[in-house]
Amino acid sequence: MKVINELKIESNHTSGERWTDEDAQFLKVNYKKKSIKEIADILNRSYKAIQAKADKLGLTDTENEEIKINEKILKNLYRI
């Protein structure tokens, strides 16, 4: 079981479980702040599950995951 930082909720999901309102809210709040991989790890869900739910919630846009990862790398390298 994991305690999720910002919302202080617990997650112990296994593959195929329904999304809770708390997990969906966590995804909405953090989709543009964290990588899909980070969210998947925190919620104990697959990368594809996060992508699918984000798409269903209308969170996806033209900014793709590769751009987010590259920006994160640059921020870490240059401390910006």
pLDDT single digits (tens) 52-75: 999 999 997 655 666 777 778 888
Q: Quick one: pLDDT band at residue 15, thresholds 50, 70, 90?
A: low
Mean pLDDT over residues 22-40, rounded? 95
Cβ-contact 59, 25 below 8 angstroms: no
Q: Which of 55, 80, 59 is nearest to 70 (CA)?
A: 80
At residue 78's C-alpha, the angle toward residues 75 and 80, to 5°, is: 55
Residue 75: the pLDDT is 86
What is the value of pTM for the model shown? 0.60
Residue 19: the pLDDT is 96
The residues facing 4 across adjacent strands are 9
Count of Cβ atoms closer than 10 Å to residue 50 Cβ: 24
Sketch the domain layout of the chain as residue ranges.
2-78
Position 33, amino acid: K
